[in-house]
Amino acid sequence: MPAILNVTGPHQIAWAAAGTTPTTAYLGRADNDDLFSIEMEYKYQDVYTNELGQSPANAILMGATAFVNFTLVSYDPDAILNVFEELDGYATAGNYVFPSVGKLAYDSTINNANLIALKVIPANTGSPTYFVDRCRLISHTIKDVGNKPTRAGFRFEILAGAPNANIFVRGTV
């Protein structure tokens, strides 16, 4: 079962290119209905012996995967397009464009290319802030188009940059 960390209260989500700390480039604002969360899952390779049959005798830790999930109740559509431009280079003014199939996701000649960093900036003084680096977009949804406020939903995977790299950094406002 994954470990989940949640941010309390309304907050803003800032973004920047991976390897830098987001400060003022805001994607938007989240409310208490669907807060920013970090979900982590540990990966194991089970080791079996004849004595225990189908039950693992031990396990080798193979790493972890971590995901960021959030929805925004108010957001800047141009900022979202800027994120897509940073991630895949195919967003254009006012349009969401399918990325090219077969394109390499990361440019090995540019450190952290096609990845972004995210920072949670809570509205309540003393609340924790969270910073995650090297995120790749997994999914994006525009929810509830119609006669009520529209939400923008995101799911990012946090990629390790080096052995023992931070999954997230926690601070306070």
Can you give the pLDDT at residue 99?
A: 66
Kindly report the average pLDDT of the chain as a whole number: 81
pLDDT per position as a tens digit, 28-50: 998 877 778 899 999 999 999 99
Can you give the pLDDT at residue 142?
A: 79
Backbone angles phi, psi at 165, to 5 degrees: -70, 155
pLDDT per position as a tens digit, 111-126: 556 788 999 988 887 8
Please indicate whether residue 131 or residue 107 has the higher confidence score (pLDDT): 131
Q: What pLDDT band is residue 1 in, cutting at 50, 70 and 90?
A: very low
Domains of the chain by residue range: 3-172
Quote the pTM value. Answer: 0.80
CA 59 to each of CA 39, 40, 160, 163: distance values in angstroms, whole numbers, following the listed order: 22, 18, 21, 19
Residue type, position 88, single letter: D
CATH assignment, 3-172: 2.30.110
Q: Which of 58, 145, 136, 50 is nearest to 99 (CA)?
A: 136
Expressed in angstroms, the distance from the first to the final Cα of the chain is 30
Residue type, position 140, single letter: H
Can you give the pLDDT at residue 8?
A: 64
DSSP 3-state assignment of 86? Answer: helix
